[in-house]
Chain A
Amino acid sequence: MPEAVRVNELTRKFGDFTAVDRVSFVVERGEIFGFLGPNGAGKTTTIKMLTGLLRPTSGSARVAGFDVGREIDQVKLNIGYMSQLFSLYHDLTVLENIQLFAGLYGVGNDRFADRRDWVLEMAQLAGHQDRLTGELPLGVKQRLALGCAVLHEPPILFLDEPTSGVDPISRRNFWDLIYGFAASGTTVFVSTHYMEEAEYCHRVAVMNRGRIIALDRPRSLKAAIQEPVLEVTTAAAPRALEVLRDAPGVIEVTMFGRAVHAMVEDQAAAERQIPEILAAAGHSVESIRPIEPSLEDVFVSFVHRSGGTLAE
């Protein structure tokens, strides 16, 4: 059996703008594969090319062993797709949406009742099947959309920022569902800009400005980080951030709750200099200590290493 997804030098241009720039990677079967990056990094464009919604400018990709350029109909039979915007029909009822997608995915009458009940239960909509979809809360809609995308039990599932705008509890529940799919052998390809969600993936590709700048397991990515990260706690974190942004020896600073994470070139020198710099600016440091980098730090580090700046 081939890999779930194999992408080779995939490129997509919009006029002069290169949204996706010679991207190559492989997704194994049964994997939860995460796509991490800020908005505009090229995640959505890549997913749209893999699901046949956009034609690649150059390069090739195979999904479930089929070429996305020439065998897109075969590809579509083997995938489920859920876009970042909720896009079921608001003016259809829950059941009518399920019936529609069952029809489109060719779910036969013999299987329909089982699948319908499964989706209703999964989306916690049992007994609400005649409600108009537009009236449901966003978290429930999202689960229904996921249910409609997997009615035909596809081996590969593409989820494009499925949890954006959803509250943290619904997000947690949603990830439980994703784990469930992976456990039953489905390959899940998911993009997100929530760093903490990337931690749930088996492997993560970090994207910035159309390129994949790192690809590994979350743990390995963190281990690979070379620059030390210091957590600086201070009374006025936002102002401290401004001061440290231009300080010598500091690569990047990010807010983390009430603390500031500073990625530095030399740990010892920084531990000495930072309190001095902040004191000069009138801020006292409560504590400063080295920490294990988070994925966000990883992301910053790789952007730095690839010599680029962040996409907005």
Chain B
Amino acid sequence: MNPTRLWAIARKEAIQLRRDPRSLIMAFLLPVALLLFFGYAISYDVNNIEMAVVDESGSERSRALVHAFESSGYFDIVEYPARYADVDDLLQRAKVRVVMVIPPRFDRELAAGRDAAVQLLLDGSDANTATIAQNYAAAIVIRYSSDVLLHARRFVLPVEAETRVWYNETLESRNMIVPGLVAVIMSIIAAMLTALTIAREWERGTMEQLAATPVHRLDVVIGKLLPYVGIGLFDVALAIVAGLLIFGVPLRGNILLLAGLTLLFLLGALSFGMFISAAVKSQVLATQVAIQTTYLPAILLSGFIFSISTMPIALRAVTYAVPARYYVTVTKGIFLKGVGPEVLWVEALAMIIFAAAGLTLAIRSFRKELE
């Protein structure tokens, strides 16, 4: 490695970036723009679930139960079909996701002190929403039921579970989404930034000119990497500020630790992009490889949306090769749990290995010789 040559390459790369304002703006603003956009748009919080009620009882008690659903905020009763037969059509055309059927004898049974049953029909074609809706609905029915029991008969249920949620007390999905989103967006952006840099130069013929100079491949790879590391750090900083100020996500851990681990992550992800670029030498192919290897894995295999612990063991093994996985753990851990190196050293180690492997692969596969 030679500092003069490395600097010459880094400087050249930075100037070229500056000359391409469209790409530069995208590199600097894309992450924070995406974060703002999605931070507002998405939420797991299932509310306003469209619901239909078939109240065949039509009594004061049945109306009280319906009111309990309405006032919960989770359900939005949009239809009151008169007949049970209409339910089929409502679910089929996805007008509602949940239907509650209150049978005619509902009031009679309760009045007589016997058990009454209501029927809940769920649209299982969206299993996520259905599961959550099921939980909400069951909880409302249970509460209503115990109201009936407790007030009427002074009965104490023998066991009660008291639940508390840690790290994200209100179960606000934004708190959980924003730190994870930063990690996923950055994994994708990092590959995007570097995946074409070397392939482009081979296609344009400039690499041949570079290759005939005494510049070492280490100088080329690291020199090219430097400006992008700078951009990446800026992107993360901006995203964190936006997360804190705009979304009010708590930052409970050490920000310096976050910065250090971010640097490690960026080194790995950027060198991986560089590796793709050096290995395939064609921009079209590099685009394909970069998107296929980073895009969906970062979203689906990082633990951001789908929990890794429920995956089959073979796939769980694959997730260890997805750097976004570690970074998602890091951002969530530092933001929400406030944990430090005593917990995150595993992730740190994994990211060091990634950075080292990424750099080695990039340097190895970057041959100054033509094929």
A interface, CB within 8 angstroms of B: 48, 51-55, 73, 76-77, 79, 81-83, 85-92, 96, 99-106, 132, 145, 148, 158
Contacts and interface: CB of A to CB of B under 8 A. Distances in A.
A96 B215 contact: no
Interface in B205-240: 205-206, 208-216
B232 to A, nearest CB: 22
Interface residues of B, number: 27
A99 B211 CA distance: 17
B16 A51 contact: no
Q: Which 8 A-B pairs have the closest CB atoms?
A: A103-B8, A81-B212, A87-B205, A76-B214, A87-B209, A104-B213, A91-B19, A85-B205
Contacts of B11: 99-100, 103
Contacts of B15: 92, 96
Given A54-B370, A83-B205, A103-B7, A77 B211 contact: no
Given A54-B370, A104-B5, A91 B214 contact: no
B204 interface: yes
Contacts of A90: 204
Given A76-B214, A103-B7, A104-B215, A55 B369 contact: yes
A4 to B, nearest CB: 16
B12 A89 contact: yes
B206 A87 contact: yes
Contacts of A54: 369-370
A92 B11 CA distance: 11
Contact of A52 (B7, B204, B369): B369
Contacts of B89: none
Given A48-B370, A90-B204, A103-B9, 12 more contacts: A51-B212, A52-B212, A73-B214, A83-B212, A87-B206, A91-B20, A92-B12, A103-B5, A104-B9, A106-B4, A145-B209, A148-B209
Contacts of B4: 103, 106
B337 interface: no
7 contacts: A53-B208, A54-B369, A85-B208, A87-B209, A92-B15, A100-B8, A145-B209
Nearest to B213: A104
Nearest to A91: B19
B212 A79 contact: yes
Nearest to B204: A87
Most buried by B among A51, A54, A100, A103: A103
A99 B208 CA distance: 18
A96 B205 contact: no
Nearest to B2: A106
Contacts of B208: 53, 83, 85, 87
B252 interface: no
Interface string B5-26: 1011101100110011000000
B75 to A, nearest CB: 58
